[in-house]
Amino acid sequence: MGENLKIACGVFGAINFDGNPIFPYVYWGLRAQNHRGHQSHGFLTYNNGKFYLHRSLDLVPRIKASAIQEWFGRLPGHVGIGNVRYTTSGRSDEKSLLKDTQPVVASKDGIKVAVSFNGNIVNALQLEKEIRKESPEFSWECDANIICQKFLLELTKSKDLASAAKACMQEIDGAFSVAGITKDGQFFAFKDSHGIRPLCAGHSEKERIYAFSSETVGLDINGFCRDFEVGPGEFVVASEKGFERERLVKERKAFCAFEFAYFARPDSFFDGKYVYEIREEFGRNLVRENPDIVKDADIVISLPETADDAAFGVHEESGLRWERATRRHRYVTERAFILLNKERYTIIDKKINILASKVREKRVIVTDDSIVRGDTTKIAIEKMRKMGAKKVYMFVTFPRIIGPCFYGIDMATYSQLIGSRHTPEEIAKIIGADAVCYQSIEGFVKATGFRRDELCMGCLTGEYPTPLAQKIADTMRKRFLEGYEETGRLYEMAELLEELSGKTD
Ligand code: SF4
């Protein structure tokens, strides 16, 4: 159940060449994307050569009518960027979270840049050493500082935004979708050479506004037109003439497959398809791939609500009744939990209510977006059984996760993944299901409309698009199976990284 998983960040930025304040657009762009990060948020605007920054913990706040003018005063200017963040690097105590909140700013030799970024850097420790050679005072807690500083150093050398972006694409191992502003007010965006995380561009038809957003919902909420998805290795500048695009580095595209199953909002649009359409097809696929189970079932339900669209697909293809037997406690958000020690074992109760009469004496297909640790799914199944379900079959839209993610999803070790050491049959036994049916990788890929070689599926196949991630994964998988204990996120294990870089340099 993807409930426990968090993504690194959501990005939004916009420029208004008619000169009107940009803050409201950045604000709504982030509000629409708060699902991508809820630990902290930040806004940065540019006005007459100065940056104005507001950063804070928690969700993007509601702004009372009486406070609007104050916000406009605090964040003036016609160009701005913003970020919502969940940490997949660095520490998670309050002080660190506040320090790591984006956007971040860096300056050197009279050049200044601000960036907002979504992704994760795998060779951060190596880059830190290189940066320190030129900027000994440099210290960092999160990846955003690394990318900002790296970009700045390259910019001080080349004085050219595209060249600085190209150096980042060539030397940073990882995923990064970046929107940035220079101290001259230039507004730009770029992506890593594989285009792992989303970032799209759009414009307003009423004013001369151009925007970048992690997901299209950030454009939709502002009434902007969708123009294009920034491509892998692409650098884009917004000018008065519109967007100027340049492909700087050519590598294979490797868009994160997990965005389709869990992270992206269902009303987001990727390459000609809404995510909800793709998820419906996931449900239809699961029916086609598991005819015997479907014959043995009475109803289909979804748990959690990110699997609603797949449940509808199961219902459509199989004719089984879709019971809306689970309801979310709507105003309970994770940050509002007051929990005792056994946090994981109470999350389901705090978030979801199950309508007992709908599952009693029924053979139930439960659609789920993913199984990560398996413990939350186990509790959900226990709960269904307590309420009288006769059989519980899990239909899981994301194929079995066997390895960690290095690119901005908070599953960074083998030991936290039930699928890294157990077959679907074993997983069914452990979590108490009558069967666990994962969608096939082939079915998943086909439903997305992408080609298989255009997707990152590292956590499903063990084949990662970037070299250092691949090396860490290969080394640690072997050690994990031999009983080695992982001490933290694999890409933050300094000794391991030292050892691997020694092998390759
Ligand atoms: S490893 Fe998995 S979660 Fe991470 S970017 Fe690739 S597909 Fe997405």
pLDDT digits (tens, 9 = 90+) for 347-393: 666 777 888 899 999 999 999 999 999 988 898 899 899 999 999 99
pLDDT of 7 reads 53
Between 345 and 394, where is the model more confident? 394
Which amino acid residue places its CA nearest to atom 8 of ligand 1?
A: 256
Chain centre to alpha carbon of residue 70 = 32
Ligand 1 within 6 A of 258 CB? yes
Token match 């950030």: residue? 218
User: Which of 5, 118, 256 maximizes ligand 1 atoms within 8 Å of its Cβ, making it the mutation to test the pocket?
Assistant: 256
- CATH 3.40.30.10 for domain 7-251: no
- pLDDT tens track for 58-112: 889 999 989 989 999 999 999 999 999 886 555 666 767 777 789 999 999 999 9
Which amino acid residue places its CA nearest to atom 4 of ligand 1?
A: 405
Token match 């959900």: residue? 380
Ligand 1 within 6 A of 164 CB? no
Ligand 1 within 6 A of 490 CB? no
- CATH 3.40.50.970 for domain 273-465: no
pLDDT of 483 reads 77
Give, as one character, the DSSP assignment of residue 190.
Answer: E
Mean of pLDDT values over 326-332: 74
Task: Give me the torsion for CA of 337, 309, 366, 260, rounded to 10°.
Answer: -70
| Cα 103 from Cα 80, distance rounded (Å) | 10
User: Which of 459, 464, 466 maximizes ligand 1 atoms within 8 Å of its Cβ, making it the mutation to test the pocket?
Assistant: 459
Ligand 1 within 6 A of 372 CB? no
**Cα-based distances in Å from 40 to 6, 31, 121, 269:** 13, 12, 19, 25
Burial (CB < 10 A; 0-12, 13-18, 19+), residue 270, is: buried
Give, as one character, the DSSP assignment of residue 276.
Answer: H
Ligand 1 within 6 A of 407 CB? yes
Chain centre to alpha carbon of residue 386 = 34
> From ligand 1's centre to the CA of 460, what distance in Å?
8
pLDDT score of 335 more than 70: no
Give the closest residue to 12 by CA, choosing from 76, 106, 84, 114. 84
Query: Do the beta carbons of residue 84 and residue 37 sit within 8 Å?
Result: yes
| Cα 205 from Cα 197, distance rounded (Å) | 27
Ligand 1 within 6 A of 458 CB? yes
> From ligand 1's centre to the CA of 407, what distance in Å?
6
Ligand 1 within 6 A of 180 CB? no
Burial (CB < 10 A; 0-12, 13-18, 19+), residue 71, is: middle
> From ligand 1's centre to the CA of 5, what distance in Å?
12
> From ligand 1's centre to the CA of 300, what distance in Å?
28
Mean pLDDT for the chain overall: 90
Catalytic residues: 9
What are the structural domain ranges in the chain? 7-251, 273-465
> From ligand 1's centre to the CA of 1, what distance in Å?
16
pLDDT band at 303 (very low <50, low <70, confident <90, very high): confident
Helix, strand, coil shares of the chain, percent, nearest 5, are 40, 25, 35
pLDDT of 101 reads 86
pLDDT of 336 reads 42
> From ligand 1's centre to the CA of 419, what distance in Å?
15
What token pair was written down for 286?
């699961």
> From ligand 1's centre to the CA of 483, what distance in Å?
24
Ligand 1 within 6 A of 161 CB? no
Which amino acid residue places its CA nearest to atom 2 of ligand 1?
A: 459
Ligand 1 within 6 A of 405 CB? yes
